[in-house]
Structures are given as structure tokens and as C-alpha cells.
Amino acid sequence: MVRQELVARQLDEQIVARFPVGRRLRVLDVGMGRGAQALRLARAGHQVTGLEKDAAMIAAAREALAGQPEGIRERMRIIEGDGRDTGVHFLPGSFDVVLCHGVLMYVEEPDPLVAGLARMLAHGGLLSLLVRNGDALAMRPGLRGDWAGALAAFDTTARLPHPRADLDAGTPVRLGPDVRADRLATLTATLAGIGAPLQSWYGVRVFTDTVADGTAPPDDVETLLAVEERAGRTDPYRGVAALLHLCGVRG
């Protein structure tokens, strides 16, 4: 819940900063999972396409969409496919906003995928990437006193056991045992190289990443969100967040 709420606030900030108020945007959500952000944006009036390769996730997203009013159902389409094949499904330049949240960690070679996403963007379009922070992998084992784990984590972004089982919308999901992580500097260079240079970045889950799974939210969850939101935009805190939210803009 914390993650989806923070990403929603950050994304809305970027959308408001870059597009005229009230404009219906064409949004592509690659690896949309159950469609938390996709549905939210469709409810906000945008035209949303969700691309997802997992049949169970597609079924869950379709079920969630079926429960929406007709006007919202009409604004969203769900396509089964691989995010590495966007060029097969869509024309270049056909979206204003492309989301790719929590997906790069499963992809061995992120650069071709990210380049394909950038090609889908119209001029001035926004690319929103949410990745596991490869610069801060020692934080979680270190804070729980796993010194060997922390030491090993400094020098790798390779596949490591995923620290959480409930990354997706606060709902327990099986993510598979191992995921990659990405470093800010590497992705910054990638985005510059594909014509969608980094404009803004945020940390997501600075303080709450070490909270045990299943812990009930506090009564003052708004204060928790205010702290996370502030930390996510403030140095040095954002640099050690569990996740990084990178926003590039197509030149």
C-alpha cells in the first residue's frame, strides 16, 4: 500500500508538471500486474493500455476492471504480451506516458526493454521506471544484523533473494526467489543514451522496507506517508530507499 500510494503521488506530480490540466493522456503500463496504477489512471480519465505477460495477473486485472463503471472500462484495454515486444504491439510515439514498475528486476538485460519503452513515447512523453535500488542492497541485511549478507550485497546487483513477498499492492504474491537490482548512475546513462534523459527521481520505501510482512498499518498512516514522501525526495535519504522511481522525458 505504501509503495503504490507513494508512486501514485510522485507520478501525479510529474504528470501535472508536464501536461496541460485535464488532457486525456495515452498511458501504457508495461508489466501492470493487477493493474493498481493502470486502473487508477483510467479512473482519473486517461486512456490506459496494460501490457502483462502473466495470465494469472491478467485475469486479476480483468476482474478488477470488470467491477468498474462502464465509462472507466471503456478507457482501459488489457493486452497479453511481453514488455520486450512493445514494437510488435504498438506504433512508435503512440503514448504520452509509459510506466514500467517492478519489472526490470526480472529482466536479465534491461537496456533493450527500456529503449523499446522510450520508442513508444511521443515527443515530451514521460517514462516512469520503478526499479529495485542496486545502490542500497546492503541496507536491509545490515539493519537486521546480517553482516555477511550486508557485506556480500555491496558489490553486486545480480540476482539476490527478494526481500519482500508483498511488493504488489500490499497483496501477497509469489515473485520468485531472485531478482536483479539497478543502479541510478547506470540507468541515468541508459536514459540519456536512448533520448529520454532523466528529469527527476525519487526514493520509495526509505523507512518502511524493514517492517515485517503482515504488520498492520499504524493509525496515523497519513503521517507515515508524509515521512516517506518527504524522505523520497530528500538527500541523502532517497539514495538508500529500497526502490527508485526514475522519470525520464522523451526529447
Where do contacts with ligand SAM occur on this chain (CB under 6 A)? 30-33, 36, 52-54, 57, 82-84, 101-103, 106-107, 167-169, 175
Residue whose beta carbon is closest to ligand SAM? 33
Nearest to 200 by CA among 2, 4, 12: 12
Q: How far is the CB of 223 from ligand SAM (least distance, A)?
A: 24
Judge whether 73 and 135 are in contact, CB under 8 Å: no
Distance between CA 139 and CA 63 in Å, rounded? 37
Q: How far is the CB of 24 from ligand SAM (least distance, A)?
A: 22
**Residue (101 or 140) nearer to ligand SAM, CB:** 101
Q: How far is the CB of 20 from ligand SAM (least distance, A)?
A: 26
Around Cβ 20, how many Cβ atoms within 10 Å? 7
**Residue (71 or 178) nearer to ligand SAM, CB:** 178
**Residue (106 or 237) nearer to ligand SAM, CB:** 106
Measured torsion, CA atoms of residues 76, 82, 83, 85, in degrees rounded to the nearest 10: -110
**Residue (82 or 111) nearer to ligand SAM, CB:** 82
Judge whether 19 and 27 are in contact, CB under 8 Å: no
- Geometric angle at alpha carbon 138, from 134 and 141, rounded to 5°: 130
Q: How far is the CB of 99 from ligand SAM (least distance, A)?
A: 7
